[in-house]
Amino acid sequence: MDKRKDIGFIGLFIGIVLIVFWDVVILKSAFLKGDYAQQFFPWYKIYADSIKSFHLPLWTNYVQCGFPLFAEGQIGSLYPLNLLIFFLLPFKAAYNYSFLLHFILAGVFIYLFSRRLKSSSEGAFLTTILFCFGSVYAGCFINTSSLKSLAYFPLALFLYEVYLERRRIGFIFIIGVIAGMQLLCGAMQMTAYALFFYAAYFLYRGITEKRSFVVYARDMALVLSISLLIALPQLYYTFELSRYSNRQIVNLGFSLWNSFNPISIIGVFLPYLGWILVKGSMIYISIIGFFFAFLGSWVFRKEKTVRALILIFVFSLLFALGKFNPLYVFVIKFFKFYSFRAPSRWLYFSVFSLSILSGLGFTYFNLYKEKIPKFITKVFLGCIVLSLGFFFAAKALFYFWSTEIISALKTYTTKYIYGQAHHRYDLDTYLNKSESFYNEILARLSFANLMVVISVVILVSAAVLIYFLNSKKAKLIKFLCFFFIFTDLLVFSYISNAIRNNLASFKNLSQKQTDLISSLKNDKEEFRVLPFGKFNTLPAWAVPSLNAYYGIESTAFYSPLLNRDYYLVVQDLGIVDDSLGILSVKKEKLFEKIDLAGDLNVKYVISDMELENPDLEFLKKENGSFLYRLKGYKKRFEFISSWGGPKAEIELKRYVPGELSLIVRCESNGVFIFREKYYPGWQAMVDGKAVEINKFNEIFQSINVSVGEHKIDFRFQPVNLKLLMLISGIVFVSCLWLGLRRC
């Protein structure tokens, strides 16, 4: 390996990243749309504030009337780099630079792995560009926790290849530590997929290197045991939370949702057309990049490592097909494991393999361009012609049979979507979605659409460039290849909706002192806000869980692990979303359950529509949003006498997330109600003695209190947390030390 050249290409890649994401570097923009706004950004704000105060965000009271944020897992509370970055840096810098760091790490690690597999420096650089700016991270199926976890995937494979050469067990310990950190990043599903391919890759490479199965079993057992022990605290509490979530009852339909449609393979050549069929998850590394991948897989097909990559590509693609693959459906049914949805997420590993194969193909082209098999060029050009033919055939089909197609779409929607599990909207909504889907396809087939014209031009230009690859002007052809790939991926970044389209200015979230927010900030009582309406029509500070960023507590919530008991109670009042769809809110339901809203400690209702109800006092209207005060709302802390006697005097001493301390003076026996979510891990003490916590109104906490003055304390302290964290820390440090020592 030429270290100077490698350092130069890695530096060039880092420079490209900083240029592409310059607005992120200077903290002008950030990932602030979609799931980022509703989960990651506000949750990381809570996390950063907690870490800087030297404690973990075990509990937050900003959403769901209280929620065990640590157990949710997606922010990766125990992930070492999160702890370091969010402790040392200001929040906005930590939020942005955490993304940049892991994006760069992903590129550096795959560069090293590509070089290990004998790609040239230029080939490895191409691999890095295709991997990071192709559909892996430009595809919307990857979020910030997935980025962090999967950045380590090529590093683990790289270290295993070094281990096969040097035969030092220390590398296995380090791979175990890496897998443990992947589990801690917060992307459990993607990390589970990575572990599957570790097992498969290690087995295949062990066989090709003629290593015994006993050694393989030992190595894999070490990796799994180390990783699981490191992630034990997170796994334990996330599993506990999942048992109480609204996803307790999942089925085959859930696990097969967002399968990769085989027709979407057209997206390899025409991504703008293929995108609509796959909800974002697709295969794309530029047309020229795909040609080099095809070339690399063919000319190096007898290489052991290349065969391993081809197998990863084949199996990940078959798994991604989901419901379109009968064998995959059979396996899911047989094991009855329905917890992971969106099989299309397996495509990460397909694109990973293609990127490396492309680097190998470019390496071969760079050395032996005159030896490129002619049939490869012919086959690839034939695929481009077929893609264009598919495009024009689709145009003709939608032009001549539009009525029949719309009818077929509506029939399919009525029979196979409406009324099925996890499809919560009414029939009219789904029929309207069918028409919208049809209209979008028409738009993506029209030459009046600039992106359609650009897509066809890119496809034809790629065909011309591939045809002239064996030209004697080697330097010019190499330059044109890279120029074309950069241009192609730039266009793709506008087509996809993950990186570019999820970026927004921090100014969009600036805490403008509007009249509505001022009204809430001036109220010093403990209260919650009920957002009533739609995500896109409510002000930013009312959108769950973005309300946490503004310091406003809300009954609304958005998380895959939304508690089921809470969902069943609150579903008709406003926005409670388990990411499977939101029930449409109706005024009549709100008015019918207005007393329930008051019992949730809701003092204010923010709505995108006018609400006329005697229990709601209109306060202000601003930019289409209506603010109401709910009459007769219940206090956060309340004492109810057992015989209807006088209420108690309550003196609040301390109230922070996960902790409450107060004095209660009562003239009779009764019940003290703490209107915060009932959940395992809460402990209560009266005058220093532990007492039992009971459920109140299905979702809140209460304890029995006798006559007199009492000091009452509530504290959220999950059982065995300290022990599990001690085990995790010991395993992490000892295995990292052993690994480094014995490499």
Note the pLDDT of residue 279: 61
Note the pLDDT of residue 491: 84
Report the amino acid identity of residue 524: K
Strands 557-558 and 576-577: parallel
Q: Tokens 């029979």 — which residue?
A: 415
Supply the DSSP string of 368-386, one letter for each residue.
HGGGS-HHHHHHHHHHHHH
Strands 682-686 and 689-691: antiparallel
What are the structural domains of the chain? 3-30+73-372+469-501 (no CATH), 637-722 (2.60.420)
Give every residue of the chain whose pLDDT is below 70, as ranges.
1, 138-142, 277-280, 418-425, 474, 497-498, 510-513, 581, 583
Note the pLDDT of residue 514: 77
Nearest-angstrom CA–CA distance, 306 and 309: 5
Nearest-angstrom CA–CA distance, 141 and 347: 9
Note the pLDDT of residue 412: 79
Contact yes or no for 279/362 (Cβ under 8 A): no
Nearest-angstrom CA–CA distance, 98 and 64: 27
- Percent of the chain as helix, strand, coil, to the nearest 5: 60, 15, 30
Q: Who contacts 454 (Cβ-Cβ below 8 Å, separation ≥6)?
A: 491
Kindly state the tokens that stand for 47: 């996390």
Q: Who contacts 536 (Cβ-Cβ below 8 Å, separation ≥6)?
A: none
pLDDT tens digits for range 141-162: 467 898 899 999 999 999 999 9
Note the pLDDT of residue 493: 80
Nearest-angstrom CA–CA distance, 257 and 189: 14
Could you tell me how many helices (H) and strands (E) the chain has, helices first? 30, 17
Q: H-type helices in 257-373, by residue range? A: 271-274, 287-299, 304-320, 326-335, 347-368
Nearest-angstrom CA–CA distance, 87 and 150: 23
Sign, CA dihedral 373-375-376-381, equals positive
Q: Tokens 């100014």 — which residue?
A: 507
Nearest-angstrom CA–CA distance, 336 and 332: 6
Which residues sit opposite 672 in a β-bridge? 639, 703
Q: Tokens 């949702």 — which residue?
A: 257
Note the pLDDT of residue 140: 39
191 phi/psi in degrees, rounded to 5:
-70, -35
Note the pLDDT of residue 64: 92
CA distances from 378 to 18, 300, 381, 459 (A): 38, 19, 5, 15
- Scored b (16 or more CB within 10 A) or e, 233-269 reads bbbbbbebbbebbbbeebeeebbbbbbbbeebbbbbb
Instruction: Give the residue among 8, 149, 17 at the shortest CA–CA distance from 489.
Output: 17
Task: Specify the DSSP element, H or E, that contains 628.
Answer: strand 625-630
Nearest-angstrom CA–CA distance, 177 and 172: 9
Nearest-angstrom CA–CA distance, 470 and 373: 11
Report the amino acid identity of residue 672: F
